Amino acid sequence: MIHPTIARLQEVVAHGDDSQIADLLAGDVQFLPPTYWKTWTGRAPVAAILGHVGEVFSDFRYRRIMGAADDWALEFQCKIGEFDAVGVDLITLNSDGQINQFEVVMRPYKSIGVLREAIMARVTSDPRFLQYQSALS
Amino acid sequence: MIHPTIARLQEVVAHGDDSQIADLLAGDVQFLPPTYWKTWTGRAPVAAILGHVGEVFSDFRYRRIMGAADDWALEFQCKIGEFDAVGVDLITLNSDGQINQFEVVMRPYKSIGVLREAIMARVTSDPRFLQYQSALS
């Protein structure tokens, strides 16, 4: 059975309503992006990053949802500009049913490179990230 | 409950015994690599590619195994040279319990780039791939 948080995540993402993702995140959520070997920590910076990712991805669709209890793998497909991509959101829930780890793996290499450039351009021009710098380690 | 094919795949990979992966693959298995947006088709070429991947990865370890019935997500971590990587084997089984689709997604970008170079060098110097060229589409 799909955990209510996972069902809600699918719903929120499907509606492109990234502002509501924050409600699903633990206060100390960790986000591990496909683009580099670093970790973002904290609800506000992670929600902001996920918001940017949601705007860079187009034609986003979840495919298979696999998992149980606190451990979930959400397979997705999308476009990044003109490039196709497939990925998995690797989600860990805490005992309150909030997302406390969100790790994203993708293919292929080229599409992740395009995503990397797009996110870097957005983050460096988003004033919120001046105060989020300490959230990246 | 873990499907016997998935349990066997974990065992085979854990022992670095890539020659035995072929037994788990459908004749018309498709392999979709993390490195480029193409598909390898057929047991022999896919087993050969997976063998090369197994030799490029070090410190390989499966983490969470998620899924049910014919749909599985096998989370893993490994090193590629000096670089860390995390990935998911997205597996689809056919009605005979053989793997008929094997799609791999990973992070981060840099590590996939190193993998890409290493696999390209191996494939272009492996004489078997002269006859496997038609398996790539």
A127 falls within a domain: no
Q: How many Å lie between the alpha carbon of A55 and the closest alpha carbon of chain B?
A: 20
A135 falls within a domain: no
Neighbours of B85 (CB within 10 A): 24
Q: What is the ipTM of this complex?
A: 0.96
B67 falls within a domain: yes
Q: Is the pLDDT of residue B65 over 90?
A: yes
Establish if B33 touches chain A: CB-CB under 8 angstroms. yes
A136 falls within a domain: no
Task: Tokens for A52, please give them.
Answer: 């940017």
A134 falls within a domain: no
CA distance A21 to A10: 10
Identify the DSSP state of B136.
B
Give the pLDDT confidence score for residue A19 in this predicted structure.
74
pTM of the predicted model as reported, rounded to 2 decimal places = 0.96
pLDDT cut 70: percent of chain A above it: 98
CA distance B91 to B70: 8
Establish if B76 touches chain A: CB-CB under 8 angstroms. no
Total number of domains in chain B: 1
What is the per-residue pLDDT across B1-46, written as a single tens digit (0 to 9) for each? 899 999 999 988 877 776 799 999 999 999 999 999 999 999 999 9
- Specify the CATH number for the domain of residue A104: 3.10.450.50
B56 falls within a domain: yes
Confidence grade of residue B110 (pLDDT, cut at 50, 70, 90)? very high
Whole-number mean pLDDT of chain A? 95
Task: Tokens for A53, please give them.
Answer: 């990712």
**What is the sign, positive or negative, of the torsion defined by CA atoms of B114, B120, B125, B127?**
positive
What is the per-residue pLDDT across A32-79, written as a single tens digit (0 to 9) for each? 999 999 999 999 999 999 999 999 999 999 999 999 999 999 999 999
Establish if A107 touches chain B: CB-CB under 8 angstroms. yes
Query: What is the arithmetic mean of pLDDT over B121-135?
Result: 94
B19 falls within a domain: yes
Do B107 and A107 count as a contact with CB atoms less than 8 A apart? Answer: no
Of B68, B105, B116, the CB nearest to A106: B105
Query: What is the arithmetic mean of pLDDT over B81-107?
Result: 98
A73 falls within a domain: yes
Name the residue range of residue B28's domain: 4-125
Beta partners for B77? B61, B86
Give the pLDDT confidence score for residue B15 in this predicted structure.
76
Neighbours of B87 (CB within 10 A): 26
Give the position of tokens 């004489």: B127
Strand A99-107 versus strand A25-32 pairing type = parallel
